[in-house]
């Protein structure tokens, strides 16, 4: 059973305006992830990473590899990264969650996945969990994933807000079919969904390990 997956991707990310990016990501749920990317701002490269390793979340980005653009860490960053790990792990490596609890969703085409993260990423809260709702298509493929992810979208107070991934296409690598074209953002399923979307990507290669 595979315990990690490496993704290579390209797409556009909205940081003010929509900007092109390329990235490589390693997902190893429930341990963590590293997403390393290069985006373009007025033609200039901004490189950096988002990570969840050793129980700590961090973001660090630099213009031209030298000038700091963003550095963030702390409890809120870690909890947000834990939600990201849960959602992306379920999309691209569901076998990496041996202790996930599956249950029927509210609608016939949905299922719910509950992963108890305990105090690993939530301080002393040993009951903490990430709960994701997955919508499945008639062919059995994943169409959408939504969870209440920790964050502060748009400068709102830190807390849990709807976050979702829409799957527009799938491809098969090493005999496993996974999402290959996705859109993601905050406020999924609300009237703020369009303004909350900030990520559009095509997965160009997948390697399971």
Share of the chain above pLDDT 90, in %: 85
pLDDT above 70: residue 33: yes
What does the pLDDT look like over 40-84, one tens digit per residue? Answer: 998 999 999 999 999 899 999 999 999 999 999 999 999 999 999
Measure the CA–CA gap between 203 and 64, rounded to whole angstroms. 25
pLDDT of residue 116: 76
Q: How far apart are CA 20 and CA 10, in angstroms?
A: 8
Cα of 18 vs its chain's centroid, Å: 18
pLDDT at 122 over 60: no
CA distance 124 to 48: 30
The secondary structure of residue 157, as a DSSP letter, is P
Could you tell me the pTM of the whole model? 0.93
Domains with residue ranges and CATH for the chain: 5-208 (2.50.20)
* Res. 1 pLDDT band, cuts 50 70 90: confident
- For residues 115 and 130, the answer to whether their CB atoms sit within 8 Å is yes
pLDDT category of residue 126 using cuts at 50, 70 and 90? low
**pLDDT (tens digit per residue) in 127-150:** 578 999 999 999 999 999 999 999
Q: Looking at per-residue confidence, does 97 or 118 come out higher?
A: 97
Average pLDDT score, the chain? 93
Q: Report the pLDDT value the prediction gives residue 121, as an integer from 0 to 100.
A: 61
Tell me what pLDDT residue 97 has: 77
**169-200 pLDDT, tens digit each:** 999 999 999 999 999 999 999 999 999 999 99
Residue with tokens 């950096």: 48
Backbone φ and ψ for 196, nearest 5 degrees, come out as: -80, -20
């Amino acid at each position: 059973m595979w315990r990690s997956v490496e993704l290579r991707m390209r797409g556009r990310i909205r940081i003010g305006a929509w900007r092109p990016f390329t990235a490589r990501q390693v997902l190893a749920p429930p341990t963590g992830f590293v997403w390393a990317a290069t985006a373009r701002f007025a033609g200039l490269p901004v490189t950096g990473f988002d990570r969840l390793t050793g129980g700590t979340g961090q973001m660090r980005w630099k213009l031209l590899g030298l000038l700091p653009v963003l550095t963030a860490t702390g409890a809120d960053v870690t909890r947000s990264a834990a939600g990201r790990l849960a959602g992306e792990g379920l999309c691209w490596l569901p076998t990496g969650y041996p202790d996930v609890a599956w249950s029927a969703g509210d609608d016939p085409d949905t299922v719910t996945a509950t992963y108890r993260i305990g105090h690993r990423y939530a301080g002393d809260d040993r009951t903490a969990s990430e709960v994701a709702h997955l919508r499945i298509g008639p062919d059995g493929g994943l169409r959408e994933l939504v969870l209440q992810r920790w964050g502060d979208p748009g400068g709102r107070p830190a807390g849990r807000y709807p976050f979702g991934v829409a799957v527009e296409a799938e491809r098969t690598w090493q005999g496993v079919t996974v999402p290959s074209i996705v859109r993601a953002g905050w406020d999924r399923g609300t009237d703020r969904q369009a303004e909350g979307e900030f990520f559009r990507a095509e997965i160009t290669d997948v390697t399971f390990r």
